[in-house]
Chain A
Amino acid sequence: MQTQHSYWLAFKSVYAKDVTLAFRQRAEIVNPLLFFLIVITLFPLAIGPEPALLTRMAPGIIWVAALLSTMLGLDKLFRDDYNDGSLEQLIASPYPLSLSVLAKVAAHWTVSGLPMVVLAPLFALLMNLESQSLNATVLTLLIGTPLLSFIGAIGAGLTVALQKGGILMSLLVLPLYIPVLIFATSAIDTSSMSLAYGGQLAILGAMLAVAIVAAPIAISSALRVSVS
């Protein structure tokens, strides 16, 4: 055995563990996507398949569905590690907890956010979204879904020690998603009027930049409180 300190190896190991586990239990990846799809298909059924109406509502529906399906995987993000003691091992490791947390959030996004970004054009088609809005939808999801994972992980960290933390976490986290929702849907709306939507994207990007730096610190403090 050799000691070799490498932040990158530790990051990669935590990331690979979570992604491997998700692929072994494929339902974890597929179910949120199916949920996303079903929520989106419910709307035309409920409000009528009028193309003009759907086009108007599409950005909002896609984004609300994305919010809700991100929530599905969040409860499990730290739950297993908390229950089996892996979280304690991560705390008692020579690496900062925020590094492991960053890897875990990245893994969560890879299995929950990224498939949504990839499948977004298909869902946009279901909602009769105009082609000029398609780019905006994919871009907002690309910048916005990692943001959802970061914000959600703070709630997941705070509630991991509670027996039935799922609902409480949703109540904590959903209000924090409002700014993301506002700027993302506004970007898609603007693009449907063929206007420049760079401003909204820039704000989302700025929020993501802050989240990458600050959220791992907040999440690791939340986890320390939960573990103690």
Chain B
Amino acid sequence: MLEIDAVTCTKQDRCLFDSLSFTLHAGQIMQIEGPNGAGKTSLLRIIAGFARADEGQIRYNSTDIRDDYDSFAADLLFIGHKTGVNQQLSAYENVQHWLMVHGAQADEEEVYTLLAKLGLIGLEDVPVRTLSAGQQRRVALVRLWLNQAKLWVLDEPFTALDKKGVAMLQTQFQSHLDKGGAILLTTHQDLTAHFAQLQTLALEYRL
């Protein structure tokens, strides 16, 4: 599904990784590990198409993502460090806005049920800036339940989440994998759930 072909990235004269190649198939989950500064986020941003690799190619279904970015984007769900949740809007408004710009629609009840499931009951209509860090992250993670993207690219999805939240997220990962999706994530924690199709990629800090 996703092929990373000889990707090289250099930042401030430091080579983060060079000629990195791997393939991610449908139904697979890949965890990228490495110390701070090893280039995990840079790699994810290159794969999501935000940054350009110095060399190499990212292919999605055998097409270079740069050639047809819009259809790649339709299959991509990216949640980064900066989650894209507006601080002034409420959780409900944030979710609805995100759905609209991603070509999806959900009725009010569905969104409220999901927000309640994620422990945001009673907090749906207050500005997100008044919520705690973990709750703000949950507002962004609602997207995992409301998308039809095949490829999930998640940068540190467990940051600020409590144990219950981490477990719930991993259950959702499993159901995405069962539906034939693929997940690429970075995390410093070990995944607590057992995934049959787990691959690990270790990036090392290079000088």
Contacts and interface: CB of A to CB of B under 8 A. Distances in A.
Interface in A51-102: 80, 83-96, 100
Given A93-B103, A94-B102, A88 B50 contact: yes
Contact of B100 (A13, A25, A87): A13
B17 interface: no
Interface stretch (A3-11, A30-38, A130-138): A3-11
Interface in B37-65: 45, 48-52
Given A84-B82, A94-B74, A227-B50, A89 B99 contact: no
B103 A89 contact: no
A10 B97 CA distance: 9
A14 interface: yes
A147 B74 CA distance: 32
Interface string A8-36: 01101110010011001100000000000
A1 B97 contact: no
Given A1-B146, A17-B86, A228-B51, A93 B101 contact: yes
A2 interface: yes
B106 A1 contact: yes
Given A13-B101, A94-B74, A84 B106 contact: no
B53 to A, nearest CB: 11
B128 to A, nearest CB: 9
Contacts of A20: 89, 93
Which interface class (under 10, 10 to 19, 20 to 34, 35 or more) fits B? Answer: 35 or more
A187 B106 CA distance: 50
Nearest to B74: A94
A93 B86 contact: no
Interface string B94-119: 00111111111110001000000000
A92 B49 contact: yes
A10 B73 CA distance: 15
Given A13-B97, A17-B89, A86 B84 contact: yes
A80 B100 CA distance: 19
B110 A1 contact: yes
A86 B84 CA distance: 4
B100 A9 contact: yes
Given A4-B105, A10-B103, A93-B73, A86 B86 contact: yes
B78 A88 contact: yes
B101 A6 contact: no
Contacts of A5: 103
- Identify which of B45, B78, B81, B103 gathers the most chain A CB atoms within 10 Å of its CB: B103
Nearest to A13: B100
Contacts of A10: 100-101, 103
Contact of A94 (B49, B73, B80, B98): B73
Contacts of B97: 13-14, 17
B85 interface: yes
B172 to A, nearest CB: 14
A217 B23 CA distance: 33
Contacts of A95: 70, 101, 103
B130 to A, nearest CB: 14
Nearest to A80: B86
Contacts of A89: 78, 84, 98, 101-102
Contact of B105 (A2, A93, A96, A227): A2
Given A85-B83, A228-B50, A94 B100 contact: no
Contacts of B86: 17, 21, 80, 84, 86
A51 to B, nearest CB: 45
10 tightest A-B CB contacts, nearest first = A85-B82, A13-B100, A94-B74, A89-B84, A85-B84, A228-B51, A1-B106, A5-B103, A86-B84, A92-B78
